[in-house]
Amino acid sequence: MTRNFPDSVDVAIVGSGPCGAAYARILSERCPAATIATFEVGPLLADPPGGHVKNIVDPAERARAQRLSEGPAPLGAGTPTDTMDGYADAAPRLVRPGTFLLASGYRQDGEDGLPGAAMSSNVGGMGAHWTGACPRPGDSERISFVPELDELLAEGERLLAVDAHAFDDAPFADEVRKRLSGALDSGRHDDRRVGSMPLAVVRHDDGRVTWSGSDVVFGEPTRANPHFTLVPEALVTEVVVSGGRATGVRVRDQRDGSVHEVSARFVVVAADSLRTPQLLWASGVRPRALGRYLNDQPQTVYAVRLRDVAPVPDAEVDPRDEPEIVPQSGVSWVPYTDEDPFHGQVMQLDASPVPLADEDEPTPGTIVGLGWFCVKDLQESDRVEFDDTEVDPYGMPAMRIHYRLTDADHASIAASREAVRRAAAALGDPLDDRDPLTFPPGASLHYQGTVRMGETDDGTSVCSPASRVWDVDGLYVAGNGVIPTAIACNPTLTSVALAVAGARDIAAQLTTTEE
């Protein structure tokens, strides 16, 4: 951590979320002599830098961290800090603690738009607020032109500390998976059957289990690297490009407004799926596909109470205010398949997401929330554009989103609503008479495609399979926006895996020049 802006580095990284952290980690491991600087527009929330806010024990400190993450207009002090608050909320613009909505430009006349489009500004990025789900993509979700994808996914799992069996012993978890398997597993391949959700969590020597944030991805190799610098509250306003090569970044200190130019041999833009293309556009890097193929995952949620289960003796009865993971926290996974094209995340909740009678307090772990995610019908016309004359609250080019749900999308959403009902019926009884709730576009926070990779530079992609921006040497992009396929599963593991490939590509070039 520093407020000293370096004059020159080998690698400048824009953004400190899991993908930016993955670049810093791999480079620290492979090129320990290389100088690396990470610039983050938001503030530091906790120590170590990049930690997950759910690991903050004190509720007031946790709320403070969330407010600090909410950009130019944080939520009020009395706003709930529990991300499960509003789980069944039908609000047209759903906002979650630690995030801030795109204030304007999120929908154009006659279009669906992304009313739920949201971001976070803080050290650790959205990795300080996410649910930690790290499933592997399957079938058509996979990127066919990345032959080493499985090895990269395994490396991503190492960096994120993914545990495939974190909640296997949660009360009723076996029963949940047994019932789901009986209803859904017929005809599925072994690796696509119902199972435990792989989660990014850390098991401690004292028995605690905490959520992985960017702090885990940075790891000790990065924190102990004397050549690594993390600068918070530093807005990169431009990637400097000269002679077809990225040569550095221009940075504005958010504390005093001073502007610094930092030269770099390589620049990695790992902001998010909206702000990464924004920075490239502001820098004059505008390939045809920039900002296009924007996609979200239509999300439908439902909740039931498990039927025919006996109370668990000695269960913790009220864990809902605890920040760390508790025994009732069971998470199961229904993998995507091309035949059943939905990703299911099934969570055993420690409290009901809808009001229940006081005398009807459920046994923790018996309320089950189901979230079904669809793939998007990818369209080049779904895009984020930027304005030459208007600016956002950070002074960057204002965003304007064009986004439509196609007939295929509407059919997919309708099918997912029926699919979630079938899965729910296998588990238990609805909590009330409401239908499954489909969130407004953007609510998943899983935006992809805006700086997508491609096998060749044919105008339909922004970067190569190694995440290097076409026609700009030394410039790399990272994050969910790099994913080129329509995926329904949580995208973080995939985007971290692709970041590993990009970091290795830079490391190979650094090693070659050193030799």
Query: 320: pLDDT confidence band, cut at 50, 70 and 90?
Result: very low
Taking 50 as the threshold, does the pLDDT of residue 200 lie above it?
yes
Q: What does the block give as tokens for 18?
A: 């899991």
H helical segments located in 351-476? 407-427
For the chain, report the end-to-end CA distance as a whole number of angstroms. Answer: 30
Q: For residue 305, what pLDDT is reported?
A: 92
Q: Is 351 part of a structural domain of the chain?
A: yes
- Cα(69)–Cα(61) distance, integer angstroms: 13
Identify the domain containing residue 196 by its residue range: 167-211+298-374+406-440
| Mean pLDDT calculated for residue range 308-328 | 56
Q: Which of 115-129, 138-152, 205-219, 288-302 is predicted least confidently? A: 205-219
Q: Are 470 and 463 in contact, with CB atoms under 8 Å apart?
A: yes
Query: 321: pLDDT confidence band, cut at 50, 70 and 90?
Result: very low
Q: Are 291 and 462 in contact, with CB atoms under 8 Å apart?
A: no
- Cα(399)–Cα(386) distance, integer angstroms: 5
Q: Which secondary-structure segment (H or E) carries 506? A: helix 492-514
pTM confidence score: 0.94
- At CA 502, angle to CA 135 and CA 148, rounded to 5? 55
* Phi (first) and psi of residue 478, to 5 degrees: -150, 160
Q: What does the block give as tokens for 52?
A: 């997950």
Q: Is 359 part of a structural domain of the chain?
A: yes
Q: Is 417 part of a structural domain of the chain?
A: yes
Q: For residue 52, what pLDDT is reported?
A: 96
If you average pLDDT over every residue of the chain, what do you get?
Answer: 91
Q: How buried is residue 473: exposed, middle or buried, by Cβ count under 10 Å (0-12/13-18/19+)?
A: middle
- Cα(245)–Cα(341) distance, integer angstroms: 41
Number of structural domains in the chain: 1
Q: Is 260 part of a structural domain of the chain?
A: no
Q: Is 421 part of a structural domain of the chain?
A: yes
- The count of residues in the chain is 515
Q: Is 76 part of a structural domain of the chain?
A: no
Strand 437-438 versus strand 299-306 pairing type:
antiparallel
Q: Are 410 and 417 in contact, with CB atoms under 8 Å apart?
A: no
- Cα(137)–Cα(456) distance, integer angstroms: 22
Taking 80 as the threshold, does the pLDDT of residue 325 lie above it?
no
Taking 80 as the threshold, does the pLDDT of residue 313 lie above it?
no
Q: Is 332 part of a structural domain of the chain?
A: yes
- Cα(161)–Cα(173) distance, integer angstroms: 21
Whether cis (ω within 30° of 0) applies to the bond prior to 484 is no
Q: Is 179 part of a structural domain of the chain?
A: yes
DSSP label at 310? P
Taking 70 as the threshold, does the pLDDT of residue 269 lie above it?
yes
Concerning whether 446 is annotated as a catalytic residue, the answer is yes
Of 396, 356, 126, the closest CA to residue 251 belongs to 396
Q: For residue 357, what pLDDT is reported?
A: 46
